[in-house]
Chains A and B, each alone.
Chain A
């Protein structure tokens, strides 16, 4: 699905300067849910911007379903961390969600269907005529997710999407995301700095260490559907948390 090989990104004209991303290689399988875990400033955002084609990589290869990514690919959607800045406040919720569809060559009627479906999937059916600033933070991020879903991507890139909502809203959004991931049958690459969130959501967790490369990788064998209380009580969850904590810390990892 997504293959990243020796990705390197250096900002500025000097290629020998300290890289934001270096020697990063990993793959994401079809319909897989992969979390990239890293502390702040480890190059997560730069990596995502390279993967999404928003900024060119200095060297290395990114290929999405066999095609090299040099600009934002058509079957990819991006959910940004800061919902209040990526939604357009002069458009209603419905128009925000439908906005990218027009330019994808989808006709009005189908765009309306896709929009309604996506709003329904995130539980915002009744709010289509509101403006984003009339909604709470969690609801705004759901609008951003709906916009991504309506776009019908094969892969969804998410840049710490739940980092700026409160804890309770956050667990709600995590469950919502797992639900739509199954319903929409998509691949998700989810960047976070939260260990619990990564384990709870993912099939596989990649730990990123500065300058962004995969320092450690774990497969999460927790049963689905997951549950905010019971999943997190499993011994396996606790074990993974310990392993990832150590990996993030950069200490040698006990198996």
Chain B
């Protein structure tokens, strides 16, 4: 318990010191670009509790979540397809490699032409940027499914749909989650970037507009809010991942001993070889966007 408390205190120490340092410094600095912290806090309260939540935060979040959600759906389904078929993978590889090399913001002008200045163009840009880590990791994950699990499925005549949903997807899920984590950060970045061009609301728009009207404390509140947003979303993501991939940590022997009831006879040594362990990549499609999963 005290250990845990110490851990929390240690984690808090640096942020608190940074904020306190800035606070003390900014109160007497009288710097136009770095307004006093108290002032930023006042503005923050005024703007984001909860005056502009509906007008700027909500639209941003919705675009981000829509784009991120579509990236997951597209990336995973396409990834399963390409992962299962060598022919499709070979055929798709040049296109995939070209598209993912394109910086998504380069397509903002095009997407404004295509989808207008509304949500559509922003969601398009978010999807275009964040789909790739999910797609590539899904392909990789599917290709890495243990052949013996697939043999087992065939021997027991498990139909294809069940093979995909009950074996291939779960087996690939550690990799898919790794891709989703990378994509989450990309989606947030592209949300902000896309809102800075031809937009009339959203956090990106707010930060840019504040700067243009020399409302520097306002601008800082937007930036701080974006930081908090990213932090919270990432925290939520890790919670979900931890839950969904509990088995994966169990297989790798990373769960506290109390959770595993290792047994009466024999040893579970062979069981600790992870079925979802990375496999040697054999094409550019499979080797990129590895993450620290």
List A residues at the B interface (Cβ < 8 Å): 49, 52, 54, 72, 74, 76-78, 80, 82-86, 88-90, 99-100, 102-104, 130-140, 151, 164-166, 168-169, 172
**Cα-based distance from A135 to B266 in the complex (angstroms):** 9
**Cα-based distance from A137 to B264 in the complex (angstroms):** 10
**Contact yes or no, A54 B265, CB < 8 A:** no
Interface residues on B, range: 35 or more
With a cutoff of 8 Å between Cβ atoms, the chain B residues found around residue A103 in the complex are: 156-159, 162
With a cutoff of 8 Å between Cβ atoms, the chain B residues found around residue A165 in the complex are: 266
**Contact yes or no, A136 B155, CB < 8 A:** no
The segment from B42-50, B109-117, B217-225, B270-278 that touches chain A is: B270-278
**Contact yes or no, B250 A136, CB < 8 A:** no
**Cα-based distance from A120 to B253 in the complex (angstroms):** 27
**Contact yes or no, B265 A169, CB < 8 A:** yes
Chain B, Cβ-Cβ closest to A135: B263
- Contact residues, B162-177 vs A (CB, 8 A): 162, 166-167, 170-171, 173
* Of listed A72, A78, A84, A168, residue having the most chain B CB within 10 A: A84
Chain B, Cβ-Cβ closest to A139: B263
**Contact yes or no, B156 A130, CB < 8 A:** no
With a cutoff of 8 Å between Cβ atoms, the chain B residues found around residue A135 in the complex are: 261-263, 268, 271
**Contact yes or no, B271 A133, CB < 8 A:** yes
B148 CB within 8 Å of chain A: yes
**Cα-based distance from A77 to B265 in the complex (angstroms):** 25
With a cutoff of 8 Å between Cβ atoms, the chain A residues found around residue B171 in the complex are: 90
**Cα-based distance from A77 to B155 in the complex (angstroms):** 7
With a cutoff of 8 Å between Cβ atoms, the chain A residues found around residue B264 in the complex are: 136, 139
**Contact yes or no, B267 A136, CB < 8 A:** yes
**Cα-based distance from A172 to B266 in the complex (angstroms):** 10
**Cα-based distance from A40 to B247 in the complex (angstroms):** 33
Chain A, Cβ-Cβ closest to B163: A103
Do A85 and B146 contact each other (CB < 8 Å), given the known contacts A100-B156, A133-B251, A133-B260? yes
**23 residue pairs A–B, Cβ–Cβ below 8 Å:** A49-B151, A76-B155, A77-B155, A80-B148, A83-B270, A84-B270, A84-B273, A85-B275, A88-B166, A88-B167, A88-B170, A89-B250, A90-B247, A90-B248, A103-B156, A133-B251, A136-B264, A137-B268, A138-B266, A164-B270, A166-B266, A166-B267, A168-B265
